[in-house]
Amino acid sequence: MGIEVIAPSATYIVGIVALGIFLWRVFGKRFDTVDARFDQVDVRFDQVDGRLGNIEGRVGTLEGRVGSLEGRVGSLEGRFDSLEVKVDGLARDHHNLARELSEFCGEMRGRLDALLRPPVEHTPERA
């Protein structure tokens, strides 16, 4: 009586085990292909990360160069400021010299006019 019950269920159990093995192999292959694709994507992401690292290095280099240029521009601005102060001083000196020269020319004209005029004779006043 026990064999009659076990025999039909044994074929059922063998069928389920066979289906399980079949599905295991099929899905195992599918999962392997999906894993391979994920590995390819990981490799691509690693390449992109490497490129981003290179880009970050270049950006760092550019930032360093921009910083050095800013330093140079700062020193040039200081030089231009000192030159501007010197030019302002020269402009004041030029203005003062031009004013003094104008005064000197006026004095010289006055003296030359006095020398070139005929002498004025004084006549005694009659009372």
pLDDT one digit per residue (tens) for the chain, 127 residues: 567 767 777 788 888 999 999 999 989 989 999 999 999 999 999 999 999 999 999 999 999 999 899 989 888 899 999 999 999 999 999 999 999 999 999 999 888 887 777 766 767 776 5
State pTM to two decimals: 0.44
CA angle 112, 115, 121 (to 5 degrees): 145
Distances 50 to 42, 44, 65, 97 between C-alpha atoms, Å: 12, 10, 23, 69
Q: How many residues does the chain have?
A: 127
